[in-house]
Copies of this chain bind each other. A is one copy, B any other.
């Protein structure tokens, strides 16, 4: 149930590494008493980056696990899970 093409997995891991670096930079900015608004812009950029990673994971999930579940006639649980993620992300 965890099909992820190797290069997508690597892409996700690479982006997560970058997001971690940027989140660390937010801490450094707070530590250095940088102007709040500049910190907020950096922090919002991190959130958007994680959001894009989440979209990539979700798309892979729809193309893999969800498509497989639907083909096997087991769509209800798979769709309920996706809707649950979707609602939380709004």
Query: Could you list which residues of chain A lie within 8 angstroms of chain B, going by C-beta atoms?
Result: 1-2, 4, 9, 12-13, 16-17, 19-20, 23-24, 26-27, 30-31, 33-37, 39-41, 43-44, 46-47, 50-51, 53-55, 57-67, 70-71, 75-76, 79, 81-90
Question: What are 13 of the A-B contact pairs (CB < 8 Å)?
Answer: A2-B34, A4-B33, A12-B30, A20-B23, A30-B57, A37-B82, A40-B61, A47-B47, A62-B75, A62-B83, A67-B79, A71-B71, A86-B89
Secondary structure call for the A interface: helix
Identical copies in the complex: 4
Residues from chain B with a CB closer than 8 A to the CB of A79 are 59, 62-63, 67
